[in-house]
């Protein structure tokens, strides 16, 4: 592809590169550069790609896209934002694949994964569509499941994934849009047919620094869409709507002034049911995922699909056969009259929501086992401890992904939030031993929540990722106990 075609949407400050240069590929990692490639020097969280321009040149880069003029002797194109340039160039390289599908994006602190899976399910069942999905747990091209490392991949990989989806005949691409991807222009240049907002609570402040910055990153999505679906029950709803450059559709689990609201809500251990009210229509909805948050997720999915042209009645009928997502209030088999649940709740509001959901259906003690990730937002650690103590009968504080931090130091910060509470606690930095202890002390009627890891089947210690699946830990320990 000619450099001119590749850079036609870029804002160019200066250049020495010939527009007719034939480009054989794009890379933002100098180690991936081959002869004839365009190397895009982006600023990362750990390093600056501009420092690796000499390495890219040595590996055969034909041109460098950069914000700072390169010191190495190489043709260049200078731009004000190389991350946005990478996104726009990637889309051009893959032939603008997003334009061949209807694009749906969901942002918010919690609920993105379940909402996107519900949307995918409705589109498949109610419209017979082939759907691509980009998400935290996995990516999908139709029914083909692909492994994923990030909620939203870097733009080069993302556009490559969109090309695979479009070539496979996907009618829709549904994706979780993280605040990182919005702030770092991984989705730069994309336009969404429908965008949805779930909620906002404290998270990722290690990156965004303030809640205002975090909210502003989320709001950016609503300047990139044709229609927006907003959860009116969230305190930041009006802020999100103020950034919408399009019509917006509101949902609520309590406010009849919303365009789509839930009435006659019933919560049971097996799921939720309610009436979805839209204008003069009242449509029964049932979803086999427990918790009030499931009502919110269902409303988000219904509103998005309505915006995509699916009648409310058809979308509601499709939800009846929807199943839960791995690691989201997932029930694990036990050997007695107690329940073990695995949930990804690693943020204060998510933990509070799931504990509030479990409290009414718990006959014995509600036991919460959790930790907090290392090298991440430290401010939420004591908050998580306080939330666990407030809504649990017993709290087991352990490790999550400690990364490069001392696990016991992380626990110390969590324990600050447990001070001046009467909830009994137990601390054990070894998560496997902590789970064994929880099982050994379980009593009839207890509900044991293993919070934080969810779908993850690994633990990150230092810079190493070790296999650790809580489903396997529980099953192996119960098998070991039964053989004694």
What's the average model confidence in pLDDT over 365-369? Answer: 97
pLDDT at 200: 87
Please state, in angstroms and rounded to a whole number, the distance separating the CA atoms of residues 171 and 448.
41
What's the average model confidence in pLDDT over 202-224? Answer: 77
Cβ(417)–Cβ(381) below 8 Å: yes
Please state, in angstroms and rounded to a whole number, the distance separating the CA atoms of residues 384 and 365.
19
Which tokens sit at 289?
A: 């995922």
* Residues 437-463 pLDDT 10s: 999 999 999 999 999 999 899 999 999
Determine the 3-state secondary structure of 351 from DSSP.
Answer: helix
Which tokens sit at 27?
A: 């890379």
- The domains of the chain are located at 3-93, 97-319, 330-482
pLDDT at 205: 55
* Residues 80-94 pLDDT 10s: 999 999 999 999 999
pLDDT at 269: 64
* Residues 306-357 pLDDT 10s: 999 999 999 999 999 998 888 888 888 899 999 899 999 998 988 998 998 8
Cβ(414)–Cβ(399) below 8 Å: no
Determine the 3-state secondary structure of 144 from DSSP.
Answer: strand
Compute the mean pLDDT over every residue in the chain, rounded to the nearest whole number. 93
> Which among 136, 129, 139 has a CA at the least distance from the CA of 101?
129
pLDDT at 270: 72
Site of tokens 């609920």: 111
Residue 228 predicted with pLDDT over 80 = yes
* Residues 383-420 pLDDT 10s: 999 999 999 999 999 999 999 999 999 999 999 999 99
Please state, in angstroms and rounded to a whole number, the distance separating the CA atoms of residues 179 and 161.
20
Cβ(227)–Cβ(246) below 8 Å: yes
Domain 330-482 carries which CATH code?
3.90.190.20
pLDDT at 459: 97
Cβ(56)–Cβ(30) below 8 Å: yes
Please state, in angstroms and rounded to a whole number, the distance separating the CA atoms of residues 289 and 131.
22
Q: Do domains 3-93 and 330-482 have the same CATH topology?
A: no
User: What is the edge-to-edge ordering of all strands in the sheet holding 225-231?
Assistant: 144-146, 139-141, 131-134, 172-176, 102-107, 192-197, 225-231, 248-252, 260-268, 271-278, 281-287
Please state, in angstroms and rounded to a whole number, the distance separating the CA atoms of residues 152 and 164.
16
Q: CATH 3.40.1190.10: does it fit domain 97-319? A: yes
What's the average model confidence in pLDDT over 21-27? Answer: 98
Cβ(105)–Cβ(196) below 8 Å: yes
- The top-level CATH class assigned to 3-93 is alpha beta
Residue 150 predicted with pLDDT over 80 = no
> What backbone phi and psi angles, to 5 degrees, belong to 103?
-100, 130
Instruction: Give strand pairing partners of 476.
Output: none
> Which among 168, 309, 323 has a CA at the least distance from the CA of 226?
309
């Amino acid at each position: 592809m000619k450099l001119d075609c590749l850079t036609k949407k870029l804002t160019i400050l200066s250049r020495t590169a010939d527009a007719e240069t034939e480009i054989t590929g794009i890379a933002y990692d100098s180690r991936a550069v081959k002869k004839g490639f365009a190397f895009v020097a982006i600023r990362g969280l750990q390093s600056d790609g501009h420092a690796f321009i000499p390495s890219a040149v040595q590996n055969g880069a034909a041109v460098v896209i950069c914000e700072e003029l390169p010191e190495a002797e190489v043709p260049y194109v200078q731009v004000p934002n190389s991350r946005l340039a990478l996104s726009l160039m990637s889309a051009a390289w893959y032939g603008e694949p997003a334009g061949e599908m209807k694009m749906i994006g969901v942002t918010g602190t919690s609920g993105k994964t379940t909402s996107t899976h519900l949307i995918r399910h409705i589109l498949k069942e109610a419209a017979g569509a082939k759907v691509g999905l980009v998400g935290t747990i996995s990516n999908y091209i139709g029914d083909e499941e692909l492994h994923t490392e990030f909620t939203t991949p870097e733009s080069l990989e993302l556009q490559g994934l969109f090309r695979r989806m479009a070539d496979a005949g996907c009618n829709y691409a549904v994706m979780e849009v993280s605040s990182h991807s919005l702030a770092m222009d991984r989705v730069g240049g994309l336009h969404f047919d429908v965008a949805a907002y779930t909620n906002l609570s404290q998270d990722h402040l290690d990156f965004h620094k303030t809640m205002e910055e975090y909210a502003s990153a989320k709001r950016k999505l609503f300047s990139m869409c044709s229609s927006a679906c907003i959860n009116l029950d969230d305190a930041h709803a009006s802020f999100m709507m103020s950034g919408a450059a399009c019509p917006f559709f509101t949902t609520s689990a309590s406010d009849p002034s919303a365009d789509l609201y839930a009435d006659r809500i019933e919560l049971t251990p097996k799921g939720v049911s309610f009436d979805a009210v839209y204008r003069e229509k009242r449509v029964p909805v049932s979803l086999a995922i427990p918790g009030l948050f499931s009502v919110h997720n269902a409303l988000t999915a219904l509103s998005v699909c309505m915006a995509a042209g699916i009648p409310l009645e058809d979308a509601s009928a499709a939800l009846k056969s929807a199943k839960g997502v791995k690691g989201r209030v997932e029930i694990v088999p036990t050997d007695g009259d107690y329940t073990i649940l695995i949930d990804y709740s690693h943020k204060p509001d998510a933990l509070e929501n799931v504990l509030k959901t479990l409290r009414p259906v718990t006959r014995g003690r509600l036991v919460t086992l959790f930790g907090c990730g290392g090298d991440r937002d430290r401010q939420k650690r004591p908050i998580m401890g306080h939330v666990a103590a407030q809504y649990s009968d017993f709290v087991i504080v352990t490790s999550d992904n400690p990364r490069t931090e001392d696990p016991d130091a992380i626990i110390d910060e969590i324990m600050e939030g447990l001070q001046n509470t009467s909830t009994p606690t137990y601390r054990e930095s070894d998560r496997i031993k902590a789970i064994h202890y929880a099982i050994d002390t379980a009593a009839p009627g207890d509900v044991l929540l293993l919070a934080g890891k969810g779908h993850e089947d690994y633990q990150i210690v230092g810079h190493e990722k070790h296999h650790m699946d809580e489903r396997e830990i529980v099953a192996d320990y119960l098998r070991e106990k039964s053989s004694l």
